[in-house]
């Protein structure tokens, strides 16, 4: 089984055989020929996809599968799967990446959990101790916030600084601002969920996870490849 996590900017994939993972691979969405070459070398028997990059990229994923004899299965959020009940008003509107991450978190943490994915966008989702997805936040990711400042101001460069308690140059001020804004959102949701549920754990994944975790005042665990783990659970459940 080949698992694909197609995000807004990058595609990550891994092969799973009898529960064992190959080395995860990744490429930019503009370079999906790397995925295609890998699939042609080792045609998969099944392809399970989370895609949040739109229909154009979905068509390119289908093209990558052409000739392998395997049609990709694009997952969609449901009202209930794998121990997670979807609290969205319209369950299918929840992004497939968030859905897969919630399912992976539920398998890893039996109690209440804050599920954070730090990519092009940052999502901060709450799971109750009973496995109910209560809702969540979507905010710009670190790089997106930084580039927004650069694009919409006359004198703020997009250089990445370092996090400081009291920044004394522009690059540090911008980086500290976007990092603290993200950490503040996580802290806020953690507190809200803790008041509701009592004991809460926090799992953080995505490309910017390690940077977000530096100086974070919430006890958190790094959960790498969270979406791919959720895809594996969904695929095994369907099988």
Evaluate whether 160 touches 211 at the Cβ level (below 8 Å). no
Evaluate whether 163 touches 171 at the Cβ level (below 8 Å). no
H/E stretch holding 113: strand 113-118
Cα 110 from chain centre: 20
Whether 97 is catalytic: yes
Cα 75 from chain centre: 14
Options 38, 97, 165, 237, the catalytic residue = 97
Rounded Cα–Cα distance for residues 123 and 23 (Å): 26
Strand partners, 16: 21
Please give the C-alpha separations between residue 219 and each of 125, 202, 203, 216, in angstroms, as whole numbers. Answer: 16, 7, 9, 8
| Residue tagged 């809200």 (tokens) | 192
Residues marked active site are found at 97
């Amino acid at each position: 089984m080949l698992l694909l996590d197609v995000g807004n900017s990058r595609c990550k994939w891994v092969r799973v055989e009898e529960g064992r993972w190959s080395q995860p691979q990744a490429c930019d969405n503009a370079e999906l020929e790397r995925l295609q070459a890998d699939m042609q070398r080792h045609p998969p028997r099944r392809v399970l996809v989370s895609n949040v990059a739109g229909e154009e990229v979905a068509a390119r994923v289908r093209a990558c599968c052409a000739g392998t004899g395997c049609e990709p299965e694009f997952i969609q959020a449901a009202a209930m799967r794998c121990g997670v009940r979807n609290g969205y008003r319209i369950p299918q509107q929840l992004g497939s990446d968030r859905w897969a991450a919630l399912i992976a978190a539920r398998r890893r943490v039996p109690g209440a959990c804050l599920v954070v994915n730090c990519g092009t966008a940052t999502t901060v989702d709450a799971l109750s101790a009973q496995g109910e997805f209560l809702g969540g936040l979507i905010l710009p990711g670190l790089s997106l916030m930084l580039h927004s400042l650069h694009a919409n101001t006359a004198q703020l460069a997009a250089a990445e600084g370092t996090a400081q308690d009291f920044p004394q140059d522009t690059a540090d001020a911008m980086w500290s601002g976007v990092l603290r804004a993200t950490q503040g959102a996580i802290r806020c949701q953690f507190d809200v969920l803790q008041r509701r549920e009592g004991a809460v754990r926090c799992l953080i994944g995505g490309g910017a996870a390690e940077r977000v975790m530096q100086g974070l005042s919430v006890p958190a665990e790094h959960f790498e490849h969270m979406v791919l783990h959720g895809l594996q659970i969904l695929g095994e459940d369907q099988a």
